[in-house]
Amino acid sequence: MKIIRGRATDLSSEGKGVVKYGKDIIFVDGLFPGEEADIEILYPRAGVYFGKVVKLHLFSKDRIQPRCKICTACGGCQFQQFAYSAQLKYKTQRVKEALYRMANVTTEVLPCIGMDNPYNYRNKVQVPFAKERNGKVKYGFYKENSHIIMPVKQCAIEDKRASPILWDIKLLLEKMNIPVYNEDNGHGILRHVLIRTSYHYPEVMVVLVITKLNFPGQRNFINALVEKHPEITTIVANVNTRRTNVVLGFTEKVLYGPGKIKDDILGLTFEISCSSFFQINPIQVEKLYSVALNLIDFSKKETVLDAYSGVGTIGLIAAKNAKRVISVESNKSAHLNAIENAKRNNVNNIEFICDDASEFIANCDIELDVVIMDPPRSGSDKKFLSTLINKRIKKIIYVSCNPETLARDIAFLSDYYNVTFVQPVDMFPMTAHIETVCALSLKKSS
């Protein structure tokens, strides 16, 4: 065991303190810039070392008491010990640095839009279950880079309705002797529990990820759970028999209620099923979409492409003010949800295409006025971006969940486009994740 004394000078993109030690770099959980500590070096990975704080000597003025004792160990909340105002400043700074360093962009980055109460926002919770040595059932979050479950009774960032349900599931499993899954030998029934909550409606979905449908005692288990928690409006079984890290399997059966819940974003209602993608912060998503859509001067004349559209949320909201919206999404079930969502909200000036966004735009002969793009963390690709350039799309709204890939893609566009607006929005308080809205406009000379 090697222990060194070091000082953090920066934060990594994963929110860990960056400590320089001779020629080496050590990433340390829960160590903030300016802080000095004794650090245990744990392991090397991809050219850097990972370490943990053994003793703190110098404290940052931004250090606060975390709400959750295991906040750094579970790998979920890198920033719970970091004052919220400092988190927002850091996120703004990182967007600024990435854009400048990788794309030479000097456009002002507006201060990251935060939450009034940056806790208990997550509308989706997913936890693994396992058996402890003493026979009790445990659940929680995996310790970072491992499959060791850190038990958590009350998570500080998830919707408050989730924890009591999880606790009672544990008690019921113990009482009814329902075996939990054993990762090593593949035996047992219950693997994970996923809880999705609606912000605008009193609706809660519980998904039991199990190895076989109709396990012994299933009906009694469901009845007992619903009796204890009448706030649960639906329970779905998802069968996953594969020896894999992927949580959800392919077979689903509704065990109780309608099998889905609904929630609203900016006045429209969306259906959420067990596996559909839905933004996890219901309060911030309204701010994010408002910022993005306010950048378009709608006059009911625009044809808009909503690329990487998920269940169609941004496009459906844009359709209220545009002439025509085309949404493209590669995931089949999200695409089907999007079609349902359009029907449910009586939106008729929108079309949904299930395709790779780059393939679609490259072969599309519709005149597009605005392209809204919201790609996954890996960003967009050369084919998509060069098509934007070739088609001389006048306005691009780029919604990004990764400042580095955003900056890389903007660098690719930079001979043809000016960045006119940059606004980070904090979708994931207490974590190092950063969401940004950018507007780009075609240079006059292009």
* Residue closest to ligand SAH when measured from CB atoms: 310
Closest approach of Cβ 329 to ligand SAH, in Å? 5
DSSP secondary structure of 228-293: H-TT--EEEEEE--SSSS----SEEEEEETTSEEEEEETTEEEEEETT----S-TTHHHHHHHHHH
C-alpha to C-alpha distance for 137 and 173, rounded to whole angstroms: 7
Is residue 166 helix, strand or coil? helix
**Minimum distance between the CB of residue 266 and ligand SAH, rounded to whole angstroms?**
12
Other CB atoms within 10 A of residue 91 CB: 28
Of 109-117, 149-157, 372-380, 389-397, the window that binds ligand SAH (rule: CB under 6 A) is: 372-380
* Segment near ligand SAH (CB under 6 A); pick from 56-64, 79-87, 90-98, 327-335: 327-335
Q: Is 404 in the site for ligand SAH (CB under 6 A)?
A: no
Closest separation in Å from C-beta 192 to ligand SAH: 21
Q: Are 311 and 337 in contact (CB under 8 A)?
A: yes
Q: Which of 84, 308, 398, 421 binds ligand SAH (CB under 6 A)?
A: 308
**Based on CB atoms, which residue is closest to ligand SAH, 314 or 393?**
314
Helix, coil or strand: residue 360: helix
Q: How far is the CB of 308 from ligand SAH (least distance, A)?
A: 3
Active site residue 401: yes
Among 140, 310, 403, 424, binds ligand SAH (CB under 6 A): 310
Site string for ligand SAH, 261-300 (x = CB under 6 A): ----------------x-x---------------------
What is the SS3 assignment for 51-110? EEEEEEEECCCCECCCCCCCCCCCCCCCCCCECHHHHHHHHHHHHHHHHHHHHCCCCCEC
b/e for 181-214, b at 16 or more Cβ within 10 A? Answer: beeeeeebbbbbbbbbbbbeeebbbbbbbbbeee
Per CB under 6 A, the list member of 236, 334, 397, 434 interacting with ligand SAH is 334
Residues 31-60 that bind ligand SAH (CB under 6 A): none
Complete DSSP assignment for 120-144 = S-BSEEEEEEEE-TTS-EEEEEEPT
* 385 binds ligand SAH per the rule CB under 6 A: no
- Considering only 33, 376, 408, 441, the residue that binds ligand SAH (CB under 6 A) is 376
When binding is defined by CB under 6 A, the residue of 93, 269, 294, 330 that contacts ligand SAH is 330
How many residues in the chain? 446
CA pair distance 373, 371, nearest whole angstrom? 6
Among the candidate windows 13-21, 56-64, 149-157, 328-336, which touches ligand SAH by CB under 6 A? Answer: 328-336
CA 141 centroid distance within chain: 16
User: Exposed, middle or buried by CB within 10 Å (0-12, 13-18, 19+), for 116?
Assistant: exposed
Pick the binder of ligand SAH from 158, 302, 374, 426 (CB under 6 A).
374
Q: Which of 180, 357, 396, 440 binds ligand SAH (CB under 6 A)?
A: 357
**Nearest CB to ligand SAH, comparing residues 173 and 334:** 334
Least distance from C-beta 355 to ligand SAH, angstroms?
Answer: 7
Chain-centre distance of CA 32, in angstroms? 23
Q: Which CB sits closer to ligand SAH, 80 or 387?
A: 387
- 331 touches ligand SAH by CB under 6 A: yes
Q: Say how far apart CA 76 and CA 72 lie, in whole Å.
A: 7
Query: Which residues of this protein are in contact with ligand SAH, per CB under 6 A?
Result: 277, 279, 308-310, 313-314, 328-331, 334, 356-357, 374-376
Residues involved in catalysis: 401
